[in-house]
Amino acid sequence: MSSSGEGPLPVTGAWRAGDPPGRRKWITGPGALSLEAGGSLPGYTLAYETWGTLNSDASNAVLVEHALTGDSHAVGPAGPGHVSAGWWGGLIGPGKALDTGEYFVVVPNVLGGCQGSTGPSSPDPDGRPWGSRFPSVTVRDQVVVEAALADAIGISRWAAVLGGSMGGMRALEWAVAQPSRVASVLVVASTAAASAEQIAWASPQLHAIRSDPRYRGGDFYDALPGDGPHAGLGIARRIAHVTYRSEPELAQRFGRTPQGDGRFAVESYLDHHADKLVRRFDAGSYAVLTESMNTHDVGRGRGGVAAALERVTARAVVAGVDSDRLYPVSQARDLARGLGVEAAVITSPYGHDSFLIETGQIAALVKGLLS
């Protein structure tokens, strides 16, 4: 797996057996996993990282849920086994909002992901990558295996479950599906159910990946270096990244400035993020996880969203970003109303990505939740 912008592109940016483990730990699921959409996995592995120390009664554990292209490495530098630096390092650590002198912080890599947990790039029982045979998984399935992780490490109730974007979907599902196991929950830049527009934005991303001839229907893992579905995954990332930022920010940073090489500066910016992603992520996982986000709906089979939210007993904080065009503030307000709380609004020019950028405002929400 290449970790720089130089040299041939890896077939996949997934962590593979034989790569350095880094800070990861693993649990193996207790037997076969029946999946919500049908089918099953004969077994699974979940990678996770922890910071801090679990106290004697396991009452200080906090679960942090990553977004679509995140992973378990929320804190720490890039290095062997970790192609990217931690994505929430400003919030987790001694003296920070999630003070690791007080809390035991657990960050799993999601089921279907590509950084140590079972996903399309993982070997099946016969040792072949799952590829196109990897089944559909939903946010509910992902929370089921996270509950098995909690059981394995001795946590019966989380002091808090926190997440933004796709991570917010899992945090909310935890509070709905396992109310007795969640004392408090923070949902940022997320929703109770994927909207038509969110599914619409995902559609061309999925088409871009699946239309790349090097995707080979999802069975590309035996290709030579440089021969993976980089074009399709790169296009998907370009589309997504536009939705992650705001129009005023792009206008202020780039305007119509030409790059000097035939590209506008904003095109160069998108090309850069596409190149970074294909070196650290997996096209198969991108498709699987995007589909799981599309099917997210806490009200499915529970009498609708309002009825589902009535199950929540956790203290809840819900926040939206005023410049988010992918998960608009209106959705945060709807969710907050359903939980009987008032939505917080993060003020930022950075759009959806503000939940990763606006550390000070997020820290204030976390401290308020845990106070």
pLDDT, tens only, 5-21: 456 899 999 999 999 99
Q: Is residue 15 part of a domain?
A: no
Mean pLDDT of the chain: 96
pLDDT at 199 over 50: yes
Q: Is residue 38 part of a domain?
A: yes
Decide: residue 267, CB within 10 A, 0-12 exposed, 13-18 middle, 19+ buried. Answer: middle
pLDDT, tens only, 206-229: 999 999 999 999 999 999 988 999
Last residue of a domain, one of 227, 261, 292: 292
Given the residues 324, 348, 353, 354, select the one marked as catalytic: 324
Q: Is residue 13 part of a domain?
A: no
Tokens describing residue 279: 């070196």
Last residue of a domain, one of 246, 274, 292: 292
Q: How many domains does the chain have?
A: 2
State how beta strands 45-51 and 160-164 pair: unpaired
Taking the C-alpha atoms of residue 361 and residue 321, their distance in angstroms, rounded to an integer, is: 11
pLDDT, tens only, 22-81: 999 999 998 899 999 999 999 999 999 999 999 999 999 999 999 999 999 999 999 999
The CATH number of whichever domain residue 43 belongs to comes to 3.40.50.1820
287 and 223: one domain? yes
Active-site residue 82, yes or no? no
CB 1 within 8 A of CB 272: no
Mean pLDDT for the stretch of residues 74-97: 97
* CA-CA-CA-CA torsion sign (85, 91, 96, 102): negative
pLDDT at 233 over 60: yes
Non-local (6+) Cβ contacts of 83 within 8 A are 1, 3, 13, 279, 280
Given the residues 141, 352, 353, 354, select the one marked as catalytic: 352
Q: Specify the pLDDT at position 6.
A: 59
Active-site residue 117, yes or no? no
State how beta strands 184-188 and 104-108 pair: unpaired
80 and 138: one domain? yes
Residues paired with residue 320 on neighbouring β-strands, in sequence order:
345
189 and 301: one domain? yes
The CATH number of whichever domain residue 285 belongs to comes to 1.10.1740.110
Mean pLDDT for the stretch of residues 236-259: 97
188 and 68: one domain? yes
How many CB atoms are located within 10 Å of the residue 35 CB?
17
SS3 letters across the chain: CCCCCCCCCCCCCCCCECECCCCCEEEECCCCEECCCCCEECCCEEEEEEECCCCCCCCCEEEEECCCCCCCCCCCCCECCECCCCCCCCCECCCCCECCCCCEEEEECCCCCCCCCCCCCCECCCCCECHHHCCCCCHHHHHHHHHHHHHHCCCCCECEEEEECHHHHHHHHHHHHCHHHECEEEEECCCCECCHHHHHHHHHHHHHHHHCHHHHHHCCCCCCCCCCCHHHHHHHHHHHHHHHCCHHHHHHHCCCCECCCCCEHHHHHHHHHHHHHHHHCCHHHHHHHHHHHHCCECCCCCCCHHHHHCCCCCEEEEEEECCCCCCCHHHHHHHHHHHCCCCEEECCCCHHHHHHHCHHHHHHHHHHHHC
308 and 159: one domain? yes
> In 3D, which of 278, 318, 283, 271 has the Cα closest to residue 298?
318
Q: Is residue 308 part of a domain?
A: yes
Band of pLDDT at residue 124, cut at 50, 70 and 90:
very high
Domain interval for residue 235: 198-292
Given the residues 72, 84, 121, 165, select the one marked as catalytic: 165
Residues paired with residue 161 on neighbouring β-strands, in sequence order:
63, 185
174 and 109: one domain? yes
Q: Specify the pLDDT at position 8.
A: 80
283 and 136: one domain? no
| pLDDT above 70: percentage of residues in the chain | 98
Non-local (6+) Cβ contacts of 56 within 8 A are none
Q: Is residue 16 part of a domain?
A: no
CB 266 within 8 A of CB 250: yes
Q: Specify the pLDDT at position 173.
A: 98
Q: How far is CA 141 from CA 25, 49, 148, 154, 292, in A?
A: 20, 20, 11, 20, 9
156 and 170: one domain? yes
Q: Is residue 265 part of a domain?
A: yes
Residues paired with residue 173 on neighbouring β-strands, in sequence order:
none
Q: Is residue 93 part of a domain?
A: yes
Active-site residue 207, yes or no? no
- Pairwise pLDDT comparison (74 vs 4), residue with the higher score: 74
Lowest mean pLDDT among 27-31, 53-57, 105-109, 133-137: 27-31
Taking the C-alpha atoms of residue 12 and residue 277, their distance in angstroms, rounded to an integer, is: 10
Q: Specify the pLDDT at position 52.
A: 98
> In 3D, which of 138, 150, 75 has the Cα closest to residue 111?
138
Q: Specify the pLDDT at position 176.
A: 98
232 and 209: one domain? yes
Q: Is residue 17 part of a domain?
A: no
118 and 58: one domain? yes
pLDDT at 299 over 60: yes
Last residue of a domain, one of 264, 292, 320: 292
Taking the C-alpha atoms of residue 322 and residue 358, their distance in angstroms, rounded to an integer, is: 12
Q: Specify the pLDDT at position 3.
A: 36
330 and 260: one domain? no
Q: Specify the pLDDT at position 4.
A: 40
128 and 262: one domain? no
Q: Specify the pLDDT at position 234.
A: 98
pLDDT, tens only, 312-344: 999 999 999 999 999 999 999 999 999 999 999
Mean pLDDT for the stretch of residues 235-261: 97
